[in-house]
Structures are given as structure tokens and as C-alpha cells.
Structure 1
């Protein structure tokens, strides 16, 4: 479910499927009907388990600091469909999206919701002609609807077990999907990935004559973004910017951009002692736990969470239980949401409760920090409902 998309589909009588259908046939056909807008302009393509959105945002910040105009296609939304398509950090205006959707209503090719939004993004970037558009894959890479571009640089921040019903149940199979974004003669920048995944990526890069870049050291910049994983994401963005800017790359400008960057839902302190973090799988939860220990060593930790049904909830709970002093499990409005009761029953913390909806607010306590986590869709829902307590929603 893409928040806010239904309004446009209803207005322009666009029929789509809300399910997931990996493959490029439909999106390629639809783009051909529109004279292939994705073949204009320059792109960066990012696929991976975690770190995609942060790396994309950090790279965009560096490039804007150098004077470039930058488009972004994110997944999922922060609030609604508009912030998934951005130009220089600003969400696509409603009038602009209406104009694009009016064109897409005439398409003969049937699309899923995500394919529709992908096509809309390419039309928008064709119209706006940014210096670069940074595209985040929705799921996997090889068969993801975004994988119709020939990017200047590909980035794979991390790889872990995920979406096994679509991507395969081995690390090698999942890595093969992620490596699908690598294109002939174009460099690929790879973060910390397991050896099995690295071997697949290396083989793919060699076959395609793609320069394989693996940053070793984190950047030495004081960042507003917290957690060692963000320093790692920053290094990937730094290397990608060097590949794009070449002799125009300015270290001082890059450091300035990284030091000032902020990203919603990445250990974001929305009000004092209340943090939003989109950790939704064991790997990103491990990064969150490490950040909590590093940033909040003297506080009690209240975990407020909801998860989707296809997540490894046992591993996620076990990791969060190492730092959580009490838990609140949310029933949230998503057809894929896991029942809060199931999380409650499995949780081993002595202090825990179930909350139906968002009417119970965290108690202000300077000795306790509240971490709202488990699903980016949950955080999106909270912001969409404009939960007044979270003033930045």
C-alpha cells in the first residue's frame, strides 16, 4: 500500500494491482508507450537490504553542495506518495503528480502500484532534467521495476536475508538479485556484505567489466546522523560522489554536506527523548541496538513497535530485548501488519503492553527514551495521522 496513491488512481480512473509482481515486462512496455523517459538523463541506482535510503540522501546532499540538481526516488514513503519522488529535497507537488497521472491514465499496459509510481518518477525526472536522479530499488534489484536504467554508478550498501519468498532462501540467490543492478562498464560501490554475497557481486562485476569499489575506512566527519552504520553509508556516498564529480570533487564540500545531513526515521529525535527508527529486519535492528547503546547509555529504554508479517520477528525481538526495559506493541493500519498479540506473546520482557491505535502517548520522562521502530510503514502511518505529540509528523 502506497499512502496517498489511491487519490490519484480514483481521480484519473487508473486500475492497478496492489500486489508484488517482480519482472520488467510491464514497466518496460509502459515506458515504451511514453517514449522511454528513463533513457534521458543520468542515474545512480541503489539496491540492498539496509542503508539504501540513507546512502541515497547522503549522496544527494554531497552533490547538491557541489551545485548539482538532484532527483530522488525513495521507497517507501515518509508521509505519503509525494515524498517518494523528490527534486532537490522537495516532494513532488500535487499539481505536478496530477498532471503526470493524467498521462498515465491513457496507458494500455496494466501495472502494479509500485510500477505505476516508478513510471511516474521517470516521467517527472524527464520533465525536470536534474543533473542526476538517485533511484532506490523497491525490492531486490534484478527484477525490480526500477531496473530499467543504465546508471552512471550502482551502489549496494548491505545484503542480508530478506524477502525470501521472492528473492530466494540463500545468501547467494539474494545477492544475485542485488547484483542485477550492475551494468556493463559502469562502476559498482559495495559496502559490508557477507563473503557469499561478495563472491556473487564480484563475479557479476567481472563479467560486465564493471569497476568494483569497496570502501574500507569510514569517513572522519562529525555527523548529525547517529550510529556507526551511518558513517559507513557516508563512505559509500563519498565514493559515489567521487565517481560522478571526478576532478570537481571537493572534500571540504563533501564534509560540509555530510556534517549537516539529517534523514527522517533514521534514529530521528522527533521530540526530546522520542526517536523514530525504521529498523525492520535483524541487520538493521542490530545497527539500532548498537546506536542505542552508544547514544543512550544512561537511559531506560521504552520500545514502541509494530512489524509486518513477513519479518523475522523472533530475531528482531531478541535483539531489542537486550536494550529494552519495557515494550509497547502497536496494532497499526496495514494489511500486512503482524498482530500485536503475537509480538506480545513472544516477547520476553516482563513489562509489556498492547496498544490499539496511537491514542496512548509515551510518558515524558527525562530518564527514559522511547524508540518507535519495527516498520517504516508504521512510522509513515504515525506521521500521516499527524499524531500531534510527534510535532515533526
Structure 2
């Protein structure tokens, strides 16, 4: 697919943040052009063939943003300057490029966008943001850079960057129309994020098919590949590092959910391998601090009651793997010893996220922890990939109700006579709408009553 004429880089450049946004919107959030030629050409012209510090790419299906956030937080807890690149955003693309937990200011965007587009006018939405992040970080005297991959690995824009390590989170079924029909083919695509010049890779536990793909690619490159649990023979971490990684099994985390311990261990393993390579000192106290202070919106994100509205529990849970993780968090022994039953549920998802499999996981979870709870299914606004509420309601069953908007769903959920938070889940794009309605909630870190530390 080609970019339309209206999206071409203006001859006189982009003058302000609004013009940068207009250019990005013209490119199209979901527009993709496979291949890394544009990225590599832009990086070479801009002199971004090597970063001034170690750089790590986070690749996988679920937990990329959380793992990237844990790694970034670990660096900050040790007193280092660290940059973090994540996606998608909720309210503004400035959220994607962060240095020391601060978003890249709007005033910096025109210059960065112009430099990137002068090097390669045909950059796609995600490619442009990736190059801008690389430029911004390189100018900021960083000690560590963390890049979350977007989709896949083989042709993901972040894979063109001069990275030192890849950290793999659990790989499952997602984006099958682009990456392949099964875990093996999806993992093979993501495994290609590893490339010559890296010093190593680390992985969370994987299904056998996914692990074989990672192991094969690492073997081709003669690249050390470590697995965080020590169950893969020949890929165990050094004993002293494995002992420190085990801190993530019990240490308080800044993010809720049993599965966050998997993400925290992957991030911690990557951190320790970098420390060993760079000769940086680390200790248990600062590790615990980094794990406890990590936060990213929309991942089992609890928002306290305010302004007559009930508390909310927000979670992307945008595919089957993610919905099963949400299930484990809500059931007894997850976030709370006795479980966490919502007072109402607001759910919607994208049509390409296998709703026939996704919705039943949510339905069975609710039947177990909150039978009869009302489920409101609004349309996700302005999204061509959104599933139709009526279609989702037919799958969800009699307790569900299709609605035209999230605002309507929130008002109906507000009137629930049950106790507990309103659960909002199924899509990060649904959460983006929620944060548009309640912008104060984006970085509001509430504490779940009765939560287990």
C-alpha cells in the first residue's frame, strides 16, 4: 500500500505540534508497509547507526509494555538516565516517547519530525515515531534505552534500530492475518528481531513451539539466549543472576496481576545481564525499588471512585492470552485472596482479535466470580477494526447489552447496585476512549482494597 499525496512531507516542514499530529493522522494509525528499507535508510542518513548507550528491544505478544516499564523503572531506581518507547498511546502520542518518566514535550516534536522526514519522507506512522524516539533519546545523554516492538519482529520498525539485546515476553496467538496462523510461525517472525551485533537475548517462559523458533534463530546467530525460569537446559542464567531474578517472585510490584511476575522477571534478567556487561553495580534494595515503582496505565489499572462515579478497573486484555491473564487476576488468589468481583463490566474489542474465542473466556470468568453481572458492550468509536456491539453481545449471552457509546455504558454501569469496581476491558482503544472521558485517570494509581502484596 502506498501513502496518499495528502500525507507527503510539506516542503516547508512541520511548524508546530498540531501540524505533526495532522501529518501522523494523515499517514493512518493502522497503515503498514512491510520491510525495513525506509527505516534503515533514515537511520543511516541521520547517523543513528549506534546508540551512545545499551539499548534493549521488548518483543512478544502480551506484556511488552509492562516489561519495558519494569526495565525502565529498574534503571531509574539505580540512578541512571533512561529512555522508554512504548505503544499505543491513550490521549497523545507524546506518551510513547518518555525520558526519565517524562513525556517528550510537544515543543520538541516539529524539529524531530522534520529531521526524520527529511531523511525519509515516506516513513509510516509507526516508523516516523520510532525514528523520532531514536533521535530524541540520542540527544538526551541516556544511560539505557528501552524500545517496545509494535507488531511482530522481522519487519517491525524497532528491529532496524542498533540494538544490543532482545527481551522476549510470552508469545501467543495475535495478529494472525499478518504474522501467521499458529504460534510457531508467529514466534519465527518475532525471533527475527534478534540480529548480528547483539550481545544476548533473554526470554520469559514460552510454549514449546515458540521456544524452538527462538532457540533456532539464536543458534543461527551464535547469540546467547537465556530463559528466566531455568527450565530450558543450556539456557539457564548464571546462578548468581538467577538468585537475584527470583526476587521478582515475591517482591511487591507496581503493577497488579500474577502474570506481572513473569514480566518483572524478564525485565530483571535483562537488567542484570546489562549490568554485568557494562560493569554497573546493582543490589537488592534498588531492585525492589525499581519493581515497586513501575507503572503503566491500562494494565489492571485501578482508578478510585471520584465525582459520583464508582471505582474502575481497567485492563487492555485484547486477545485470548490477555483475557486468560485477566481471568487469573480476578479469580481467588489473583489480585485478592478472595477474588475480585466487578459491579458491572464494560467490554468491547477489535474484530480481528478472534472474538469467538475471546468473549467466552470473559463470560466464563464472570460466571465464576460475579454471576448475573451486567455486561455493557459499546461501539469503539472511529476505529475501522472495531467489532460490532451486536455481534459481541450475541456471543456474550443474555446478560450483555450492545450500546452505541462508551459514555452510555459508563452511565449505566454507574447505577449498578452491586459492590466492586466497574471492569473496563477488551481493547486498549476502548481504554483510550475511557481516558478521553476521564483524563485525570491516566496516571491515577489507586490501590485495590484487599489486594495482596
Query: Normalization by structure 1: what TM-score?
Result: 0.91
CA distance in 2, matches of 1:367, 1:13: 42
Change (3 A) 1:108 1:194: closer
User: SS of the residue aligned with 1:188?
Assistant: strand
Q: 1:337 aligns with which of 386, 391, 396?
A: 386
The change in CA–CA distance for 1:345 and 1:387 in structure 2 (over 3 A counts) is farther
Q: Distance in 2 between matches of 1:193 and 1:328?
A: 34
- In the comparison of the two structures, how many residue pairs are matched? 389
Larger radius of gyration: 2
Aligned ranges 1:233-248 → 2 under 5 Å: 233-246=263-276, 248=281
Distance 2:341 2:214 in 1: 41
1:40-73 deviation digits (Å, cap 9, x = unpaired): 4431011100010000001111111111111011
- Report the CA distance between 1:132 and its aligned residue: 1.1
Structure 2 equivalent of residue 295 of structure 1:
335
Alignment check: 8 A CA contact 1:17 1:111 kept: no
Which is worse superposed, 345-354 or 108-117? Answer: 345-354
Q: Tell me the residue number matched to 1:346.
A: 395
Is the 2:58–2:68 contact (alpha carbons within 8 Å) kept by the matching residues of 1? Answer: yes
Cα distance change, pair 378–291 in 1 and its aligned pair in 2 (3 A): same
2:393 counterpart of 1:363: no
SS in 2 for 1:308: coil
TM-score in terms of structure 2 length: 0.80
Q: Which runs of 5+ in 1 are unaligned?
A: none
C-alpha distance in 2 between matches for 1:170 and 1:343: 24
Summarize the alignment of residues 13-28 of structure 1 with structure 2, pairs less than 5 Å apart.
16=27, 18=29, 19-28=31-40
Matches of 1:86 and 1:70, distance apart in 2: 9
Q: Kindly indicate whether residue 231 of structure 2 is the aligned counterpart of residue 190 of structure 1.
A: no
- Gaps of at least 5 residues in structure 2 are 1-15, 230-245, 306-310, 367-372, 446-453
SS at match of 1:111: coil
Q: Note the aligned Cα RMSD (angstroms).
A: 2.5
Aligned to 2:347: 305
Q: Name the counterpart of 1:176.
A: 188
Residue range with higher mean Cα deviation, 236-245 or 12-21:
12-21
Deviates more, 1:214-223 or 1:134-143: 214-223
- In the other structure, the counterpart of 1:277 is 315
Question: Against the structure 1 CA distance between its residues 20 and 39, is the aligned structure 2 distance closer, same or farther, given a 3 Å change threshold?
Answer: same
- How many angstroms apart in 1 are the aligned matches of 2:435 and 2:121? 33
Contact 2:171 2:206 in 1 (8 A): yes
User: Larger deviation: 60-69 or 210-219?
Assistant: 210-219
- The answer as to 2:224 corresponding to 1:211 is yes
